[in-house]
Amino acid sequence: MSSQKKSVGVIGLGAMGRGMAGSLRRAGYEVYVADVRREAAEEFVKDGGVACSSPAEVAKHCDILVSVVVNAAQTEEVLFGKNGAANAMKKDSVFVMCSTVDPHWSVALEERLNDMGILYLDSPISGGAAKAASGEMTIMSAGKPQAYAKVSGALEAMAAKVYRLGDSAGAGSKVKIINQLLAGVHIAAAAEAMALGLREGVNADSLYEVITNSAGNSWMFENRMAHVLAADYTPLSAVDIFVKDLGLVLDTARASKFPLPLSSTAHQMFMQASTAGFGREDDSAVIKIFPGIELPVKK
C-alpha cells in the first residue's frame, strides 16, 4: 500500500462487520463506518475509525463500500433508502455485498449498479465473528475483473481465503447458500444427536468428548454443542438466521425442481424453534424443540 492511506467504508457493525472493519484498520486503511445503531459506529472511533451518520456520508469518502448487513432488504436500504449510498457513490467505485441472499437478486443488483456506473462484487462471507475479527474468514466472491482490481487488497486484509468464483454476480451467492445448507443441516443433526443422548441418559460431557474424537464429529457439532453444554445461548448466529438462509436454499432449489429432503427437515426444525420463542437465541437453541430431555444448566 502507498504511504497515503486508502479509504474503505463499512456499513453494518454487527458480529462480522465490526471485526472486518478492525482488520482493515490494522492493514492501514482509513475506515469510515455507519450503522443503524449510532453507538456502534461511535465505538469504532476508539479504534481509529471515522463514524458517519449514514451510508451516503460513508460513500462520499470512499471508493470501496463494504456492506455487512443481514439480508437483501437491508442491503436495498443501505443503497437506495433514505440517505442511501448509491446516489453518493462515485463512478467506478465498488460496492462489496457480503450478505447471504438469493443469487438471482444479486445478479439483478449488479445490473442495477452497473447502470449507475458502480462496480459490484457478490461477496458472501463465512467463518464467524472470531475469524472476522482476526482477518481469517472466507470470502466467496464473484464479479468483474475491474472490481477485483480495485478491492483485492481490502479483501485480503479481511480474509484468509478469497475465492474468485466467476466474472459476474451470482456464483458467490450460490456457493454461500450451499455452505449454509451444510451448516444448517449439520447444526440440526448435531442437536438431534445430543438430544437423543440426553434422552437415553448418557452423560452430556462424556458424549461430547467421545463424538469430538470419533468419526461422527463435525465442526458444527464441536462448536455448537459446546454452547449447549455451557447452557449459553448468546446469539453468535441466531436461529432466525437459519430460518432465512435455509429458506433461500429451498427457494433456489424449488426454482429448478431439485429435491432437498434434509434441508427441508432442518428448515422446519429451525422454524419450530423460532415459533417457540427461540428465534433470537444462538442457533444451537434448535435443540430446545426436542421433548422429554433435560438440557444442561449453567454451572
176 noted as active-site residue: yes
Asked if residue 168 lies in contact with residue 143, where contact means CB atoms within 8 angstroms, the answer is yes
- Could you say which of 150, 176, 244, 288 is catalytic? 176
Residue 290: what are its φ and ψ, rounded to 5°?
A: -80, 130
Relative to beta strand 7-11, strand 64-67 is parallel
> What distance in Å separates the CA atoms of residue 32 and residue 113, rounded to the nearest whole number?
21
- Cell 437483501, residue? 72
Angle (deg, nearest 10), helices 171-199 and 219-229: 50
DSSP secondary structure letters along 145-166: HHHHHHHHHHHHHHEEEEEE--
Give whole-number Cα distances, 133 to 11, 36, 96, 164, 252, in Å: 16, 20, 18, 22, 31
Catalytic positions: 176
